[in-house]
A and B are shown apart, each in its own frame.
Chain A
């Protein structure tokens, strides 16, 4: 296998973008990544997207995006793994370059969610259609079940737990307020969260990531070739992916994201590092409880200690392991198919030292974790500055 580097990144602003179409979003991000990398061609491309069919009655995204990107004849692959579509697309692009099959590969992710379609119903397609969504459960509902099980298992009083959840959103909005591409770059307080509308008990509106339009893209090439394009070589040191049960009820432990632990174990092994060696991370905070459970499964904290860690500021920008410096899905926005690729863009910004007000000091190695469904699929990538 060849060593692989990320040499270009690009993303659109995330938000409610009624004036931009699915293809415009993707092409805008892809052009930025191509320009940032300075490449004059691409050998192949990947499009991570969850459900353009339900949102916009458009499938066949590989060909569509290659065509509109001016890359007719280039092989193009559409990758779907619910909200982990972007992360999985990145992994496949990495594998293609590592294998020697191609030298310069574009990986993009996109989702156009403001189309008039019922977004709750479109997203519910990522759950078990026959034994979950059929019953009326929604994604906030599934993660709310995880939250209630967590509170019970670790015996946390309701008021304290409610505040711990809120602190995840407060932290991510604090970081997001420093990100010009964020959908909601506003600071909030614990009161904002606990006084917002109940969505699925105990989760409220400000525990949930928003509905977002947006796209992100990166360019990959072999490390040897990267030296031609840049002095700051950012290597993909580890890549891991895993699956688990599609239905939450069948999970061995409802509070433990075994899929994340498996994907992380593989990425750590490939990179030859442990959780302690990670300087900062972008994780899948589709709901506040998700960030807590993910940080435990990644090995940053013991199971049951993730909520306390947020309370203690350990995941803040100046904490021992800054989590979601971009604002996360919560504040930056969550265009589902784009999220996994946007996380890689944030890692590269931090590793290049170009993250502005949200820059992590001495950021040498970052981790990105992307997740599909209620924890049925996940990818973990570790990037480091050579």
Chain B
């Protein structure tokens, strides 16, 4: 178990702060020190767009213990408008869904939103971050 300080002080938990390679333009989320595309170590700060589309998804029926209250949880790989990809939960879905394939389609447009990710243990502190919702 990570202590709260480990994640609370990482900016990428709360803000969509990425970096962009000055040489080849590749965007990295999370930010990197070495560009995986060209090897450059020169970057500029970059804010990710907040809309994109679902590339693939799944419904996790047996999530880790911290997510038990939310189960099942829906997760997706989202390709943002600029081509950057992130993994996140799909939120704001109806409380009971018979067949998720009818609601969520690969290619469906989504927007990123700020949400609680989970609470640590019984009455534990809340952990926040980004999720996406269908638009």
Q: Which residues of A contact B (CB under 8 A)?
A: 118, 120-121, 124, 129-138, 140-141, 144-146, 148-149, 152, 158, 197-201, 203, 245, 247-250, 254
Contact = CB atoms under 8 A, between A and B. Distances in A.
A288 B48 CA distance: 35
Contacts of B30: 130-131
B66 to A, nearest CB: 7
Given A141-B58, A148-B57, A254-B55, A135 B7 contact: no
Contacts of A146: 56
B106 A148 contact: yes
Given A120-B64, A141-B60, A135 B55 contact: no
Interface residues of B, number: 34
A45 to B, nearest CB: 33
A145 B58 contact: yes
Contacts of B16: none
Nearest to A150: B56
A124 B77 contact: no
Nearest to A149: B56
B87 A137 contact: yes
Given A131-B87, A141-B75, A158 B101 contact: yes
Given A145-B57, A152-B106, A248 B87 contact: yes
Contact of B10 (A130, A141, A148, A149): A130
B65 to A, nearest CB: 6
B118 A200 contact: no
A138 B63 contact: yes
Contacts of B36: 245, 250
19 contacts: A120-B62, A121-B65, A130-B10, A135-B75, A135-B88, A136-B60, A137-B60, A138-B63, A144-B59, A148-B57, A197-B61, A198-B59, A200-B58, A201-B59, A201-B100, A201-B101, A245-B36, A248-B77, A254-B55
Interface of B: 2, 7, 10, 30, 36, 55-67, 70, 73, 75-77, 85-89, 100-101, 106, 117-118, 129
Contacts of A199: 61-62
B86 A136 contact: no
B106 A149 contact: yes
A34 to B, nearest CB: 40
A97 B9 CA distance: 47
Contact of A136 (B7, B73, B76): B73
Nearest to A132: B87
Given A250-B85, A254-B55, 17 more contacts: A130-B10, A133-B64, A136-B60, A136-B64, A136-B66, A140-B60, A141-B60, A144-B60, A145-B77, A148-B106, A199-B61, A200-B60, A200-B62, A201-B59, A203-B58, A254-B56, A254-B77
Contact of A145 (B62, B65, B75, B100): B75
A149 B106 CA distance: 8
Contacts of B117: 134-136
B48 to A, nearest CB: 13
Contacts of A249: 77, 85-87
B58 A148 contact: yes
Contacts of A197: 61
A200 B61 CA distance: 6
B113 to A, nearest CB: 14
Contacts of A121: 64-65
Nearest to B87: A249
Nearest to A158: B101
Nearest to A136: B67
Contacts of A134: 7, 117, 129
A172 to B, nearest CB: 22
A221 to B, nearest CB: 40
A138 B74 CA distance: 11
A199 B67 CA distance: 14
Nearest to A127: B87
A145 B65 CA distance: 21
Contacts of B118: 136
A148 B106 CA distance: 9
B132 to A, nearest CB: 11
Given A136-B73, A250-B85, A118 B56 contact: no
Contacts of A120: 62, 64
B63 A136 contact: yes
B56 to A, nearest CB: 4
A145 B63 CA distance: 15
B75 A137 contact: yes
A138 B62 CA distance: 8
A144 B70 CA distance: 19
Contacts of A140: 60, 62
Nearest to B58: A144
A203 B56 CA distance: 14
Contacts of A245: 36
